[in-house]
Chain A
Amino acid sequence: MNRFGWLRRSPNVVAALAMAVVLLGLGMFEIVRPGGVDFSDLTGGLVTLDTMIRIGILTIVLVGMNLLMGYAGQVSLGQAAFYGLGAYASAILTARGTSLLRLPPVVAESWWWPWMAILIGMAFAGGLAYLIGRPILTLRGHYLAMATLGLGIVIYILFRENLGLPGSHITGSFDGITAVPRLRIGSFEVWPLSRYYFLVWACALLSMVLVLNIVNSRVGRALRAIHASEQAALAVGIDIAGQKLRALIVSAVLASLAGSLYGHFQAAVSPKPFDFGSSLELVVMSSVGGMASIWGAPFGVAVILILKEVLRSGLRQVLRGASGEHEIVVYGLLLIVIMIFMPEGVLVSFLRWLRRRWPASETIPAVEAA
């Protein structure tokens, strides 16, 4: 029929390319600034480049989390801890490299060391997930939710309390660690924001593609099978414990990567963004986008982050003296409404609706495997 038939058959590829083009366009816009108009002017100041970077970073966390929760069906209420592991690993290894770890300046001041630190953080998070995953993933349902919640809180407190070491100042208590350096490639600094934006979204898109590949593979099908019926999964010979563990490790490694990117973005790390509330917020984002959906990840993050921005500025006009946190009322109510009426998430529900309207169209990503 046409030469581009494969495009119609691979809606995920089309969507990924489209997203890459749009993101590239937005980034170029910021750099070129045609007619003095910059990125945030495009959205009437609503979405700044700063927000876009935050969306990208959390997308990476959420992609891994959706693999774990939405596909494999293993609830994690402590994912922010893995996110924090990356941030603290990068911060400690770079900002405390010479003072605390006594790294030789050749290493600590080299351009490649922070990149190494990111990898070390990912390996550490993956290793931790491997160690705790075996016992914890034997739990199911509520019990798994509770255990991950506890784990998340324990790790958060360890960040806050200098890992519980007496007299230590390794994580900087409540204040955290400052002077985390910017990332460089050779002498090319991945900064200002317009450069960092490309790095973050390259990582985000890459993780989305990798996880999409996993979802639509033997491993991903095994994970979805476990979600649907552990007994039937066993009956076809799937090593349930091993597959769950893989999903947890992927989610931990991606969260750690995101955490490192966050640390270098903020140039500082403190415990607050990795507390229980943040873990819950991740679950909220995941639910809004649709847990069993990779495309739902950036969508869910964007909706929540932008909504928070809107509410914050909107409420300030309505409610005089409103502090930055009043928006959580709306945010909580919205979560309830979405969960009642669209328990599969906004994006997935929308795709389903599209498919019902135009059943023949194959360009709409298959809801089950998107």
Chain B
Amino acid sequence: MTHALVDASPMPPLLAVDNVTKTFGGLMAIRKLSFPIHVGEVVGLVGPNGAGKTTLFNLIIGFYRPDAGEIRINGRPLNGLAPDQVARLGIARTFQSLQVFGNMTVLENIMVGRHRHARAGLLAAALRLPSVVREERTMRIDALGYLEQAGLSQLAHQTAANLSFGQQRRLEIARALSSEPVLLLLDEPGAGLTQEEKDHLGDLILDVRAAGVTVLLVEHDVDLVMGLADRVLVLDHGDLIAEGTPDDVQNHPQVIKAYLGTSWGESPEHAEGLAVAGGPR
């Protein structure tokens, strides 16, 4: 603590990616990657297609196991934990291709998000014990609060599948937040949104950050990341090629090279990501 002036981060990092390597059949997707994420930060992770962003994402949430290295949350290694166990440690995520529970109401979606904060077991639920009824009631009230925050209160009793694309994206974020995560991973939250919806999204993420939630934002849309992130990590071919404030990174020669070096025709999202005035799709 006394080194505060020397070391910008006296606390152990919330998330530590430590020398992580992941290969697929000889192809190295992530190469000896190390970086920390500190409490309260909004970190942007950018990089062209194939840079390893999704692989890294899947490594953190436990879908993949690193071939070498370690990922720790609050000093606790995640290696070997299944995705649901990782989630129960307080790492929440959203999906690039929406994964709302379309067979449930909007409110119920959020209540599922609160799953790890409730206890009701099968038998207690079947018998609807008083404790279960109480738990349901508080869960409902909490869930309504999260809907309010996401601006979805009016839609609480709608079937989630009937929501618009932008609303579903907000619902996903609200669902992730409702689990009271210590770390929120957002996977391409801007993909497929209109500019107006992106602005809304930006506001929501700023709210989240104000509430003290740490965010890792994986995003193609460089503009969106630049406006929100405290710190940006740039991946290319599995390597961390740049790290710093949005301004630093934007002018980093290697970053410019990496982005221009990919084929434009093959990655429309990427093209959109670089477009300065990324208008509605």
Instruction: State the A residues within 8 Å of B (CB).
Output: 210-211, 213-214, 217-222, 224-225, 227-229, 231-240, 246, 250, 292, 366, 368-369
Contact status of A222 and B115, CB under 8 A, knowing A214-B125, A236-B179, A237-B84: yes
Tell me the smallest distance from the CB of B159 to a CB of chain A, in Å.
6
Report the bound CA distance from A232 to B85 in whole Å.
13
With A236-B179, A250-B122 as contacts: A225 and B101 at CB distance below 8 Å: yes
Interface centre among B85, B103, B135 (most CB of A within 10 A): B103
Contact residues of B between 109 and 129, Cβ < 8 Å to A: 111-113, 115-116, 118-122, 125-128
Contacts A/B (CB < 8 Å), 20 sampled:
A210-B127, A213-B125, A214-B125, A214-B126, A217-B132, A218-B111, A219-B120, A219-B122, A224-B101, A225-B101, A225-B112, A232-B101, A233-B112, A234-B84, A234-B87, A236-B112, A236-B176, A237-B115, A238-B115, A368-B159
A229 touches B101 (CB 8 A): yes
Which residues of the other chain, A, contact B38 by a CB distance below 8 angstroms? none
Contact of A210 with B103 in the complex, beta carbons under 8 Å: no
Residue from the list A213, A229, A236 in contact with B115, Cβ < 8 A = A236
Residue of A nearest to B116 (CB): A237
* A211 to B123 Cα, complex, angstroms: 10
Q: Could you tell me the distance between the alpha carbons of A232 and B61 in the complex, rounded to whole angstroms?
A: 12
A369–B120 Cα distance when bound, in Å, is 18
Which 8 pairs between the two chains have the least Cβ-Cβ distance?
A217-B125, A237-B87, A232-B99, A228-B101, A234-B83, A237-B116, A237-B88, A229-B99
A237 to B178, alpha carbons, bound, how many Å?
12
Contacts of B128 in A (CB 8 A): 213, 217
**Residues on B with beta carbons closer than 8 Å to the beta carbon of A218:** 111, 115, 118-120, 125, 135-136, 139
Check: B100 CB closer than 8 A to any chain A CB: yes
Q: Does A221 lie within 8 Å of B100, measured CB to CB?
A: no
In the complex, what residue of chain B is closest to A242 when comparing beta carbons? B84
Instruction: List 6 other contacts, CB 8 Å, given A217-B125, A221-B104, A225-B101.
Output: A213-B126, A218-B136, A225-B115, A229-B101, A233-B84, A368-B104
Closest to A367 in B: B159
CA distance A220 to B105 in the complex (A): 13
What mask results when residues 87 to 101 of chain B are scored 1 for a CB within 8 Å of chain A, else 0?
Answer: 110001101000111
CB closest chain-B residue, reference A226 = B101
Chain B contacts to A: CB under 8 angstroms: 61, 82-85, 87-88, 92-93, 95, 99-105, 108, 111-113, 115-116, 118-122, 125-128, 132, 135-136, 139, 159, 175-176, 179
B contact face: mostly helix, strand, loop, or mixed: helix
Q: Is the CB–CB distance between B125 and A219 below 8 Å?
A: yes
The smallest C-beta distance from A97 to any residue of chain B, in angstroms, reads: 30
Query: Are the CB atoms of A228 and B83 closer together than 8 Å?
Result: no
Given known A225-B101, A225-B104, A368-B104, contact A238–B126 (CB-CB < 8 A): no
| CB of B22, distance to nearest CB on chain A (Å) | 19
- Min CB distance B118 to A, Å, is 5
Bound together, the chains give a CA A210 to CA B126 distance in angstroms of: 5
The SS class assigned to the A binding surface is: helix
Given A225-B112, A368-B159: A235 in contact with B87 (beta carbons within 8 A)? yes
Distance (whole angstroms) from the CB of A248 to the closest CB of chain B = 12
Contacts of B108 in A (CB 8 A): 221, 224, 368-369
Contact yes or no, A231 B99, CB < 8 A = yes
Q: Determine the chain B residues whose CB is within 8 A of the CB of A235 once the complex forms.
A: 61, 83, 87, 92-93, 95, 99, 176
* Contact in complex: B103, A224 (CB < 8 Å): yes
Taking a contact as CB atoms under 8 Å apart, the answer to whether B100 and A232 are in contact is yes
In whole angstroms, how far apart are the Cα atoms of A223 and B104 in the complex?
11
Q: Which of A240, A246, A292 contacts B103 (CB 8 A)?
A: A292
Docked Cα-Cα span, A228 to B175, in Å, equals 14
Chain B residues with CB under 8 Å of A224's CB are 101, 103-104, 108, 112
Q: Indicate which residue in A221, A227, A236, A246 contacts B87 across the interface (CB closer than 8 Å).
A: A236
Q: Which residues of A contact B127 (CB under 8 A)?
A: 210, 213
Given A210-B127, A217-B125, A235-B93: A228 and B102 within 8 A (CB)?
Answer: yes
B122 and A228: CB pair below 8 A?
A: no
Give the distance in Å from the alpha carbon of A369 to the alpha carbon of B99 in the complex.
20
- CA–CA, A235 and B116, complex, Å: 11
> Hey, which chain B residues are within 8 Å of A221, CB to CB?
104, 108, 111-112, 115
Q: Chain B residues with Cβ under 8 A from A250's Cβ?
A: 122
CB distance from A87 to the nearest CB of B (A): 24
| Bound complex: CA A229 to CA B122 (Å) | 21
Contacting residues, chain B, for A234 (C-beta < 8 A): 82-84, 87
Closest chain A CB from B29 CB (angstroms): 19
Q: How far does the Cβ of A66 sit from chain B's closest Cβ, in whole Å? A: 13
Identify which of A210, A219, A237 gathers the most chain B CB atoms within 10 Å of its CB.
A237
Q: In the bound complex, what is the Cα–Cα distance between A292 and B115 (angstroms)?
A: 21
**CA A62 to CA B111, docked complex, whole Å:** 27
Task: Specify which chain B residues have a CB less than 8 angstroms from the CB of A225 in the assembled complex.
Answer: 101, 104, 112, 115
Chain B residues with CB under 8 A of A240:
84
Task: State the CA gap A231–B115 with chains docked (Å).
Answer: 15
Q: Determine the distance from Cα of A238 to Cα of B88 in the docked complex, in whole angstroms.
A: 8
How far is B83's CA from A227's CA once the two chains are assembled, in angstroms? 17
Q: Using Cβ atoms and an 8 Å threshold, which residues of chain A touch B118? A: 218
Chain B residue at smallest Cβ distance from A221 = B112
Q: A246 to B124, alpha carbons, bound, how many Å? A: 13
